[in-house]
Chain A
Amino acid sequence: MIEVKGVTKIYGKKDNEFKALSDVSFTIPDGASVAILGKSGSGKSTLMHVMSGLDKPQTGQVIIDGNDILRLKTKEVDKFRSRKMSFIFQSFFVQGNESCYNNVSLPLEIADVSISRRRVRVEAALKAVELIDKKKSRARDLSGGQKQRLAVARAIVNSPKILFADEPTGNLDSVTGGVIENLLFNYHRKFKVTLILVTHDPELSERCDIQIHIKDGVIDSIKRKKK
């Protein structure tokens, strides 16, 4: 379970202070799919960064499985992220000059997984996104959709508990975007992974269990799908 309690994030100092999030609170049960919706600049990415411990808000708590990750040491948050979370970004952030294999292998290296286990898991992840035949190609030679599939493989290779995706289809056309969406939702369903999607696509948000609308750093509404 993820509990966000009274989170306020302020950018800038004194004179040009900017409240990106103000007193944000909500709970997400394990294995849920969540859409964070809002206009550009409303604080969606900031919320995602705070929830993953990448950014520290001025006040508030982010409690994951009973631990307030904002009060952990940097080292422990890093460990937490490397064991339990993964990310997919709008602009892919694949390493163009590395092979697909080495791109996907990175999270496992960070998590100290042995070489032989790495190989099995990297290949499984590449198979899941249908890029196994591109194993040795350089990531920069892939198309946009393939790059994002590679990013998905990198995100699922470490069997995360929570998968963050920040506008994963924002840079893709609707067909390739649809492929990525299906990959994410299938993975979410199959492995009971908590999926947190930042988007402004209403259609995509329809597929999620919870919809959190943000407006200028404040929660506008939270809709939960009735079962």
Chain B
Amino acid sequence: MKIQSIVIRAGRSLKQAKSRTILTSLAIAVGAFTITLSLAAGAGGRSYTDQIVSANTDVKELSVQKSPPKSQKGPTKYSSNIVSASTAFFSGELLTRTDLNEIQKIDGVVSVTPNYNPQIKYITRAGQDKYLASISAFSPSVTLKYAAGSVSGNLADNEIVLTEEYVPALGFKNNQDAIGKNVEIITDKLTAPISAHQTKTFPFIVKAVSSKSGLAFRSQSSLLVSSSSARAMYDYINIGTQSYDDFAVASVRTTSEQRAKEVKDVLIKKGYQAQTAADILGAVNTFINVLQGILLGFGALAILTSIFGIINTQYISVLERTQQIGLMKALGMRRRDVGRLFKLEAAWIGFLGGVIGSGLAVLAGTIANPFISKALDIGDIRLLIFNPVSVVAVVVGLVLVSVASGILPARKAAKLNPIDALRTE
């Protein structure tokens, strides 16, 4: 018997048992829905982190820390000859000037910049209130979204990039109004005695106002100044303190992406911890992959349940149709073709379930995407990405799973003795 005829007959007999077919395939649809969505979330998540990392890092750059002591459990022992710090966010050894100089000497290193985060006292403007602020160094490799003004290349030492929140706070009419205006940052020297405060005012001109971006990596409230201004403020505040010139993290700029990998190997040999942009991405993606794996697990569980559904439905179908099977065999239909008829019915059920489930997932995902983006405040980035190839793969996979589930009932049908089936008077 030709496959085409069998496919058509299989489809027709399912159509005649409509509600049973639909109910069985709905079980598969649940699995297909979950799997399609989790694949979309995984793809979306990876693409999102990819965008974040590439918008905030440079492939030529490395992020370097001191390596924690190897193979040691529990807290680190104190030792007078290493410099360390312990905060809520960071615990371990710090990089010293000597380390930075050593790194600078490595072949292919263009520059070594420690992360200066000067703890300023406040930011203000003539006749306005005083506000706390966190300051970071501007990096041209980090993509920013500007609400007003813009920075091409590097920031000049007297320029600052404000965030939108500071615009009304500092008394500007709107974002555009702030551009070109003066603001002041006031710093305290930490080593000065309490009785004799020493403060210094650093004046800046507003170069640009950054707005919230779905791709922003760093804390949204950081105001940006040039690397040397950040350093100048850091020096003024921290000079003479115990932790002066010790840093948790430094970024190392190299001449090329390839060089960055080579420098990373050298740094690791020297006992540092170094991460390229790809490493950071990899770490985040591992997390996404684990989450996706969990979701896929739920989908697989739903599929597993539906396998028993198919086996059950098909067994019942074989029982109900013993006469029909007997007749077909009496008419000379081969065992193989009888088996195929039932396997193809299972295939139809799987196909239907796959299409319904994936279709609903794509529909629901497409509708939900803008709401998710809004809830997570990530702008117009889509967190669910439906890759046509993986949707098709899900449907094809489910058809195969269904055929496999149909094997046992199909074998029962194929083995059925036509005489027993036809002796029903």
**CB contact under 8 A between A109 and B5, given known A49-B419, A81-B331:** yes
Closest to B423 in A: A45
Is the pair B419, A109 in contact by a Cβ cutoff of 8 Å? no
Is the pair A78, B424 in contact by a Cβ cutoff of 8 Å? no
In the complex the two chains form, what is the Cα distance from A170 to B266 in whole Å?
Answer: 95
Is the pair B419, A54 in contact by a Cβ cutoff of 8 Å? yes
Whether B330 is near chain A, meaning CB under 8 Å from some CB there, is yes
* B residues near A86, Cβ cutoff 8 Å: 331
Closest to B336 in A: A75
* A residues near B324, Cβ cutoff 8 Å: 93, 95
In the complex the two chains form, what is the Cα distance from A45 to B419 in whole Å?
Answer: 10
Whether A187 is near chain B, meaning CB under 8 Å from some CB there, is no
Is the pair A109, B9 in contact by a Cβ cutoff of 8 Å? yes
Whether B328 is near chain A, meaning CB under 8 Å from some CB there, is yes
In the complex the two chains form, what is the Cα distance from A55 to B418 in whole Å?
Answer: 9
* A residues near B327, Cβ cutoff 8 Å: 93, 95
* A residues near B424, Cβ cutoff 8 Å: 91
Is the pair B419, A55 in contact by a Cβ cutoff of 8 Å? yes
Whether A215 is near chain B, meaning CB under 8 Å from some CB there, is no
* A residues near B418, Cβ cutoff 8 Å: 54
In the complex the two chains form, what is the Cα distance from A91 to B422 in whole Å?
Answer: 9
Contact partner, A80, options B329, B332, B425, Cβ 8 Å: B332
**CB contact under 8 A between A82 and B333, given known A93-B327, A97-B16:** yes
Is the pair B330, A54 in contact by a Cβ cutoff of 8 Å? yes
**Distance between B320 CB and nearest chain A CB, rounded to angstroms:** 11
Whether B373 is near chain A, meaning CB under 8 Å from some CB there, is no
Q: How many residues of B contact A (CB 8 A)?
A: 26
Whether B1 is near chain A, meaning CB under 8 Å from some CB there, is yes
Residues 60-101 of chain A, each 1 if its beta carbon lies under 8 Å from chain B, else 0 = 000000000000001100111111011101110101011000
**Distance between A40 CB and nearest chain B CB, rounded to angstroms:** 9
2-33 of chain B: CB within 8 A of chain A = 2, 5, 9, 12-13, 16
Closest to A89 in B: B422
In the complex the two chains form, what is the Cα distance from A52 to B9 in whole Å?
Answer: 26
In the complex the two chains form, what is the Cα distance from A35 to B335 in whole Å?
Answer: 31
Contact partner, A110, options B326, B331, B425, Cβ 8 Å: B331
Contact partner, A106, options B326, B331, B334, Cβ 8 Å: B331
In the complex the two chains form, what is the Cα distance from A160 to B94 in whole Å?
Answer: 94
* A residues near B323, Cβ cutoff 8 Å: 93
Residues 392-425 of chain B, each 1 if its beta carbon lies under 8 Å from chain A, else 0 = 0000000000000000000000000011001111
Closest to A106 in B: B331
Contact partner, A112, options B1, B16, B425, Cβ 8 Å: B1
Contact partner, B1, options A54, A97, A102, A109, Cβ 8 Å: A109
* A residues near B419, Cβ cutoff 8 Å: 49, 54-55
**Distance between A77 CB and nearest chain B CB, rounded to angstroms:** 8
* B residues near A89, Cβ cutoff 8 Å: 422
Closest to B421 in A: A93
309-333 of chain B: CB within 8 A of chain A = 323-324, 326-333
Is the pair B422, A93 in contact by a Cβ cutoff of 8 Å? yes
In the complex the two chains form, what is the Cα distance from A95 to B323 in whole Å?
Answer: 9
**Distance between A117 CB and nearest chain B CB, rounded to angstroms:** 13
* B residues near A79, Cβ cutoff 8 Å: 332, 334
Is the pair B332, A111 in contact by a Cβ cutoff of 8 Å? yes
In the complex the two chains form, what is the Cα distance from A183 to B157 in whole Å?
Answer: 107
Closest to B331 in A: A107
Closest to A86 in B: B331
In the complex the two chains form, what is the Cα distance from A78 to B16 in whole Å?
Answer: 28
Is the pair B2, A81 in contact by a Cβ cutoff of 8 Å? no
In the complex the two chains form, what is the Cα distance from A98 to B14 in whole Å?
Answer: 12
**Distance between A38 CB and nearest chain B CB, rounded to angstroms:** 15
Is the pair B422, A110 in contact by a Cβ cutoff of 8 Å? no
Is the pair B12, A102 in contact by a Cβ cutoff of 8 Å? yes
Residues 91-131 of chain A, each 1 if its beta carbon lies under 8 Å from chain B, else 0 = 10101011000100011011110000000000000000000
* A residues near B332, Cβ cutoff 8 Å: 78-83, 85, 107, 110-111
In the complex the two chains form, what is the Cα distance from A81 to B323 in whole Å?
Answer: 18
In the complex the two chains form, what is the Cα distance from A218 to B422 in whole Å?
Answer: 23
In the complex the two chains form, what is the Cα distance from A93 to B327 in whole Å?
Answer: 7
**Distance between B21 CB and nearest chain A CB, rounded to angstroms:** 13
Is the pair A109, B330 in contact by a Cβ cutoff of 8 Å? no
Closest to B13 in A: A97
Is the pair A78, B422 in contact by a Cβ cutoff of 8 Å? no
In the complex the two chains form, what is the Cα distance from A223 to B9 in whole Å?
Answer: 45
**Which of A89, A109, A170 has the largest number of chain B CB atoms within 10 A?**
A109
Residues 171-203 of chain A, each 1 if its beta carbon lies under 8 Å from chain B, else 0 = 000000000000000000000000000000000
Show 29 A/B contacts (Cβ-Cβ < 8 Å), sorted by A. Answer: A45-B423, A49-B419, A54-B418, A54-B419, A54-B422, A78-B329, A78-B332, A78-B334, A81-B330, A81-B331, A85-B332, A86-B331, A87-B331, A91-B424, A91-B425, A93-B323, A93-B422, A95-B324, A95-B327, A98-B12, A98-B16, A107-B331, A107-B332, A109-B1, A109-B2, A110-B1, A110-B332, A110-B333, A112-B2
Residues of A within 8 A of B (CB): 45, 49, 52, 54-55, 74-75, 78-83, 85-87, 89-91, 93, 95, 97-98, 102, 106-107, 109-112, 170
Residues of B within 8 A of A (CB): 1-2, 5, 9, 12-13, 16, 323-324, 326-335, 337, 418-419, 422-425
Which 10 residue pairs spanning A and B have beta carbons closest together?
A: A82-B332, A81-B332, A109-B5, A97-B16, A78-B332, A110-B333, A93-B327, A107-B331, A78-B334, A110-B1
